[in-house]
Structure formats: structure tokens, C-alpha cells
Structure 1
């Protein structure tokens, strides 16, 4: 009999999909994660809850759409604790207040899409697609543009920058009412920046949608390099009509995250893994996000 041993040194993935070798309690694949994953889900749920009244006028007319670009199998297990939790996409599906009317899930691994299909089989208004979301998104946006009056929310949680291309965000931005919660993989960027700095047409170029960062970081001290990369991403978001006006930050101007309404997600060693960025075209979405990030998952108050 297989015994789950979820210590970091023994945690192995299967077929490079990030899933535990041992199935979940329901017999389906389950993604192995660290305890910090609950921080990002905390802010996802807070935003969906806080924005429910704004979303309701669309949801009441069957016009609210949820998209998950990297859906996974729908369940996670927190290593060490051996505790199973819902993924972000499943949590969005379980909203009681102003629920979405349609759900679109993408994943590159068939084991994930098959597991997700079984876990949400009783939900009739969902579509699950196997394949690269960077490619499949073009067809979906074309379909959604036929009803331009709808509200859309996209959850974007890639393992690393190699999984997401900025052109995908550009495509999503064609939809007038589109909020995007983006997990900016700052940890992976820090680990690989030296390699990418000396090459052309890199993963980071595709992720940011530009190679402008390469010249901008030349000669900068380390504490300014990643702020500059964040600034490049901010400029790219502005170029696809996501305004900067009114945005505040839980950081000073000296912090690398200054200039965007961000929330760092750290591992148990206090190393930044992701930065959560809410991109909203309407000022109300920005105000809601800036309000909810004042409180951390452990109930602490942040100060602007």
C-alpha cells in the first residue's frame, strides 16, 4: 500500500504535472503544494466576495464569465499537513453570492482535465479544454466577443513564466469588461534572470511581451532590477488599456513592487514566490482590490 509522505525531500511529481504520485481521497489526481498556496486563494476569494454586488447586475442576466487558464486537477494537498483543499478554479465555482454563469477551464495535462471533469461533473455551465491556453484563448475570445456586454474574470496562476505569454493577456484585453488576477512568478524570474539576460527571444521576453527590460536593467543594483521588471510589466498592462490611475501599494516607493497593487506570496523561508496583481479596467475593480489587500490572511493590517 502506498503511504503518503509529503515532506519536501520526498515530494515527487508525476509526468511533470506537479501532481502527487498518490491520488487524493476521491481517487483522482491531486496537486502537491506548500502551505503558502492558501494565501493566494485567500485574496482570490476576498476579491470575488467583495466584488459580488458589482458582478450581480451581470450575473442576474446570465452575463458573468469565469476563466481559469491553468486549472490543474481541481484539488490540492498541502505537503506536511496532508490536508486537501479546493483549487482556485473550484473556489470560484462555489460562490454563493452572484455566482458566475459560465466557467471555462484550460490545462495542458490530460490527467488534470480528466480529474477536473469528474470533480465538477454536476455543473452544467462549465467547459474544460485540454491544451495550451496561450493558443486556445484566441478561439474563446472570438466567441466571447459576440456578446461584448458581459463581465469576465480570468484567474491566471502559472507554475512559472514559461507557461504564460503576454500575448494571451493582450488577447483577453480585447474584452471590454475583463478583470485579471495574475500570479507574477517573481521567484522563477529571479532564479533565471542571469541566463535570460545574455540571450535573445527568451521565456521572459515572451512573458513580458517585450525585450525592453534587458537594456533597462543594465548597470542597475540588484535591489532595483526587479522593480524595473515589475515596471516593465506595468507599462505593458497600460498598453492594453489597464489604467494605472488611483493604484496604491502596500509598500514604499523603494520597494520592488511599488507602482502596482500587489500582494507578495512567500514560502516558509520568507522568499517571494509570486506577486498577485489585479488588472482591472474599471476604477471600481481597482478600489475593491486596494481595499481587500489591506488585511493579510492572518488578520494583520497593512498600512499604505
Structure 2
């Protein structure tokens, strides 16, 4: 996480690359496509359809290359749900950085969104959330960490205890590419947090590309083992010069959610490696 800057609305913000716009476009498209399914839970007995953002950041950002101001993920999610006529019943936000989290909370409060603040790490927030959320509702979690190591598998384990939850997950391709040697050579590496038990499943004698693929496939198997199938469609987000930054994939139990994701990413599946 970089230094905060002054936002155009008087609150702290951050600088991002143009790739952030593409990421949020995928998020908004999915939430808009799925609004009819969400509305069934908003008007039914549960009266609960929530949005969860455990790495919410400050809620506002400026694109470095153009100077354009854009909404953060939680703010963008609330706006698209309102515009589609199926506004989330609750917006749960967390960020280990207090200043960032509080800026998002204030921005959502200004929009009169039903925001609920969770403190601490994403793993702690997910564990707390699983104990207080309406278990009969429909839930959507955007898991957008700043590094592979921050994608603690305990986050997904906690959220997967909820029956009706779809998770859109950011997996850092850059960390897999640049930091492979570091993560292979030490205990307590990013891989240990991301995919616990990987050392017993990955053949370190194979070429680096094969090792990276094994780690990701093992992680996918772990997620599937929780009953939340990872999508075969992993959307690759690239930087300004074509460098691989990260993948977005959906993990969900319901096949309808995967159909929604396929429509939201209709530009076609891109290769993992």
C-alpha cells in the first residue's frame, strides 16, 4: 500500500494504475447482471443480500496516468446496486489500515449506504463476519488483496461456511512471477499463507512455470474442497505495458453465479501462464 493522497472530496484517497478501472468494470458488470437474483433475497423471507469488501482501501482513487478520479470497490458496488434497483441490505467493509477503512466508511455514510465496519486483518474480519451475518441471505465478497501473501486462505475458509456466498478473488500473478524464488526458499513464505500445505504437493524439481501452475492449481483444489467451485474462467488483468498483474476468478457453489461471471467476462478466457 502506497501513501495516501488528498481526494477530490476532502477525504484520503490513493493512486492506482489504469488496470483498476478494468477490475472495477468486471465487478460492476457482475453485480448488475446478478441483480435479479439478489432482489429475490431482498424481497423474500431473508431480506438480506450483502456486499463484503475485506480490503476496501479508502474508497476513492486517482488514476496515475490520466488524473481521473474513480470510486473504490465498495462505493462502486453500492452505486451499481442502487442504480439496478436491488441495493445491498448491508455493506461490510474491512481494511487493516485504519485510515483507509474509515475513509471508505465515511464515503458510504455520505451516500446513506447501510455500511458496517469490521476492524483488524482480513482474516480476523472474515472470522468475525461469519458469526454475525444473516446465514439465510445471499452474500457477495470481493477479495482484493494488495499481495499474494495477504490472500490468507483462512479468509476463504471463514466465508465458505456461508451457504449462499459468491467470492470474486484477486490472485496476484506478479507475485507468482517475480517472487517465486523467495517463496520457494523460506518457511513462512507468501505461499504458506496463500495455499497451506503446498510444499507436500508441488514438485520443486520442475521448471518455474510448471511450479507456478502447480501452486495455483493446488490452491484451486483447496477452494473447491470447501464446496465453492473456482471458475475455469480466470480473467487476466494486465498493466500498461502488457505485464501480467493478477487474475480475477469467481468461487461459488451455484452454477448460476458462474453463468453470470461468464457473461461479465465475455471478452474470452485468457491463459493462466
Provide TM-score, normalisation by structure 1.
0.82
Match of 1:36 among 15, 19, 24: 19
Contact kept? 2:78, 2:113, Cα under 8 Å? no
* Secondary structure in structure 1 of the residue aligned to 2:167: strand
Match of 2:30 in 1: 47
Q: 1:10-67: per-residue Cα shift (whole Å, max 9, x none)?
A: xxxxxxx4244x4011221111100011111111011101111111101224210110
Match of 1:102 among 87, 90, 107: 90
Match of 2:253 among 281, 295, 299: 281
Aligned length: 265
* Structure 1 residue 92, shift from structure 2 partner: 0.8
State whether structure 2 residue 28 is matched by structure 1 residue 56. Answer: no
* Structure 1 residue 271, shift from structure 2 partner: 1.0
Match of 2:143 among 156, 159, 166: 156
* Secondary structure in structure 1 of the residue aligned to 2:145: coil
State whether structure 2 residue 94 is matched by structure 1 residue 75. Answer: no
Gaps of 5+ in 2: none
* Structure 1 residue 188, shift from structure 2 partner: 1.5
* Secondary structure in structure 2 of the residue aligned to 1:163: coil
Contact kept? 1:165, 1:209, Cα under 8 Å? no
Match of 1:133 in 2: 122
Q: 1:151-187: per-residue Cα shift (whole Å, max 9, x none)?
A: 0100010000222210110110000001000000121
Q: 1:75-97: per-residue Cα shift (whole Å, max 9, x none)?
A: 01100211110011111111222
Structure label with greater radius of gyration: 1
* Structure 1 residue 270, shift from structure 2 partner: 0.8
Provide TM-score, normalisation by structure 2.
0.91
CA-based RMSD of the aligned residues comes to: 1.9
Q: Which segments of structure 1 move beyond 3 Å, counting only runs of 4 or more?
A: 301-304
* Structure 1 residue 262, shift from structure 2 partner: 0.5
Q: 1:303 to 1:160 in 2, by over 3 A?
A: closer
* Secondary structure in structure 2 of the residue aligned to 1:53: helix
Match of 2:2 among 10, 18, 22: 18
Match of 2:175 in 1: 188
Q: 1:205-246: per-residue Cα shift (whole Å, max 9, x none)?
A: 11113224x6524222233232222211110111101236xx
* Secondary structure in structure 2 of the residue aligned to 1:57: helix
